[in-house]
Structure 1
Amino acid sequence: MAMLGPQNRPKYPDYETEAPVQRQFYPYADNGGSVVAIAGDDFVVIGADTRLSTGFAIYTREQKKIFKLSDKTVLGCGGCWCDTLTLTRIISARMQMYEQEHNKTMSTTAAAQMLSTMMYYKRFFPYYVSNMLVGLDTEGKGCVYSYDPVGHCERATYRAVGSSGALLQPLLDNQVGKKNMLNADKNPITLEKATAIIKDVFISAAERDIYTGDSITINIITKDGIKEESFPLRKD
């Protein structure tokens, strides 16, 4: 019997295999954004940029990332925008339920604890958001609460989170915390000084971070309410 050559050998399709194909599910998107807050004895100043982008594409240059929860409480968010919208909608609904049930507005401290519980509840599929909740506590003092993705909460007097948080936090440590400074002024920071520092750090962030730019929205929280300002940044 003649031997079959390679070109004449029968093919068996049942035994042919393909290269392995990897399937991935990644529902998150990083839309950038940075949030900075500084608290004083009787005020809080919080600022967030207005650029909403992904990669090298800019969706809009006028997206506010600061959400008013009450007359003394404000939430700043950066990261995945769809998670931000979902989280803020749920928080707003829960604060309305609290007000209708107890006939009073939820305090900043209670809102901070509620947000921590909400994020911990979603710890197995967390919100991809950098949160910062600020306001005046029951004694009228300014407070800043920052969070990790699973709800760990920390109170501070100043904080920077978001895409340029790692760039801005050392600058705040020096200018606000007076760290690594000789003969530093130990007097409490004033409202005008805190507002000027927030503008300066965002100008620095816009030079180094492509996800931060266009302009910043600033909310000033005092016993008289919330005052909103805006400040332009570079748009390239």
Structure 2
Amino acid sequence: MASMLHPSQGSNPYNLKPGEVSSGTTIMAVPFSGGVVLGADSRVSTGTYVANRASDKIAQLTEKIFCCRSGSAADTQALTDYVKFYLQQWEVESGRPATVKVAAHLMRKICYQNKDNLSAGVIVAGWDPVGKGQVYNIPLGGTCIEMKCAIGGSGSTYIYGLTDALYKENMGKQETLDFVKKSISHAMARDGSSGGIIRTCVVTEGEVAREYIPGNKLPYGP
């Protein structure tokens, strides 16, 4: 998996050093009136080779907080493991569930302190009693921005216009879920590094509902 790729001129469009490989993904998270919807494709690629076609890029940090991963699979798996461990400690010491904001800023701190050694762009999203449904985008470098519609990965470059056109504030759960599915399916159709199935996760006060949409049933089209 990878965050946005930046093509450069020349015969090596991704400016790779010998022995390195490029990879890609599409991740997305959108809050709605009662919670958040997270979504991701499932393709893990190394250059032109698909290493895993059914990867799960939505990692659970706490009961109601999740993280969409893009970048180096090894880096983002290590990051989510660290953050999950620290949040468990925080909840034991404080005696209350961690908030989405705490999880996002903990992720931001680790990403920023190790920005020269990590290739990781993540979206932290979830529900808590304080801020309700929230989405924080943490791109390469460790910036942390709360957003109403966060997209990431190489596939996101193909759907900025689509998400700008379709996004509406105060959408309901089903409308938000349909919006996420359609956006990711369009990114998968255009980006060769994104593909497989779509995995989604809906987080509200009363439920955590995960779903997958197989590749032959993607909601691609007008």
Normalising by structure 2, we get a TM-score of: 0.84
- Which amino acid in 1 is paired with 2:115? R
Give 1:161 shift: 0.3
Match of 1:78 among 46, 64, 70: 70
Deviation at 1:225? 2.7
Quote the sequence identity (%): 25
**What are the Cα deviations for residues 170-227 of structure 1, in whole angstroms up to 9, with x where unaligned?**
21111114xxxxxxxxx62111111111111122112110111110110000001311
Q: Could you tell me which of 152, 156, 159 is aligned with 1:165?
A: 156
CA distance in 1 between partners of 2:184 and 2:108 (Å): 27
User: What is the alpha-carbon root mean square deviation over aligned residues?
Assistant: 2.1
134, 139, 161: which one aligns with 1:148: 139
Partner of 2:123: 132
Q: Which runs of 5+ in 2 are unaligned?
A: 1-15, 218-222
* CA 1:145–1:25: 2 relative to 1, 3 Å: same
CA distance in structure 2 between the partners assigned to 1:145 and 1:218 by the alignment = 17
Match of 1:105 in 2: 97
Partner of 1:39: 31
TM-score normalised to the size of structure 1? Answer: 0.79
Distance in 2 between residues matched to 1:188 and 1:34, nearest whole Å:
24
Within the candidate set 179, 200, 219, 1:197 is matched to 179
- Quote how far apart the aligned CAs of 1:234 are: 5.5
The offset of 1:128, in angstroms, is 0.6
TM-superposed deviation, 1:28: 6.8
Q: 1:26–1:102: structure 2 CA closer, same or farther, 3 Å change rule?
A: farther
Matched, 1:229 2:211: yes
Secondary structure (helix, strand or coil) at the match of 1:197 reads helix
Distance 1:28 1:88 in 2: 24
Say how many residue pairs are matched.
Answer: 202
CA contact under 8 A between 2:126 and 2:203: conserved in structure 1?
yes
3-state SS of 2:193 partner: coil
Pick the aligned partner of 1:91 from 61, 83, 100: 83
Letter in 1 for 2:158: L
Q: Which amino acid aligns with 2:212?
A: S
**Greater displacement, 219-228 / 141-150:** 141-150
* Distance change >3 Å, CA 26–CA 65, structure 1 → 2: farther
